[in-house]
Structure 1
């Protein structure tokens, strides 16, 4: 299993001098090992990595053809479309709310292409590189469940003995349960 940066046709690699380069052959691609490392590479070289996204080869092995089909359906968005997507959230990541510079925002599919989403503007949102890498191609509901689970677990580890946390935990759990049912 490897984590690569690709645009569906090329891959990101490093030359012998350490410069960021694009290669056509997947076996020459840089294995970043984690999505976080790949995102850091995109942040270090945004110009050379523009239009590239993380690809986990482990997923590709478990779902043959899923990435290839998704890449085939993805489209390169015009400057006008990118501006419209960016303005929808006034330059803020629609997942975490952080402000994202226009030059570094990523177009996020609310409903992933691989799950039947479209390239229509109603399915596209402004996202920061970190959230885009974390969400990848899961359903929005599954993403929110996972983020909630991580948050509750980490807070429980840190503040488990605190009375304030015990009250907050019960309120949050009840709220999440209602959301799951409705």
Structure 2
């Protein structure tokens, strides 16, 4: 039951809900993605921060309530965000903010690696996608050295996040990725 709840929590499309409350159709803006980065493209920074916090919170809660199966709960929460039940398993986010929440529940050292990497890469290159992918890779590598039993979980999540970023990777390669 805890694992099903982890997926269902991850599946809540907070960004879509909070933008719709504000009269914004998020799927018609920027990338059309329902993640916090696309909320930022609406120009409403407070709404973007709210989306980021809500998406992180659902990842944190999913892992926190499922202490016995925390690795599976982490993966299911991220999968829920990517393939939300409420949106017929389509049009979900890319899982980065939810992963941040998962990491908050699992290991603060890895969170610090994730955040440090994201900020540094973003400040240098101004690409949210590149910062997210770099942070995900750094956190996964760091988990191998700093955390007992977290590496496989983060590796699986990283593969999922990289797969959801496939178009961003192509855009980065071609020089057509959206820059902030």
Q: TM-score, normalised by structure 1?
A: 0.29
- Which is bigger in relative contact order (C-alpha 8 A, separation at least 6)? 2
In terms of fraction of residues, the more strand-rich structure is 1
In terms of fraction of residues, the more helix-rich structure is 2
Larger gyration radius, structure 1 or structure 2:
1
Q: TM-score, normalised by structure 2?
A: 0.29
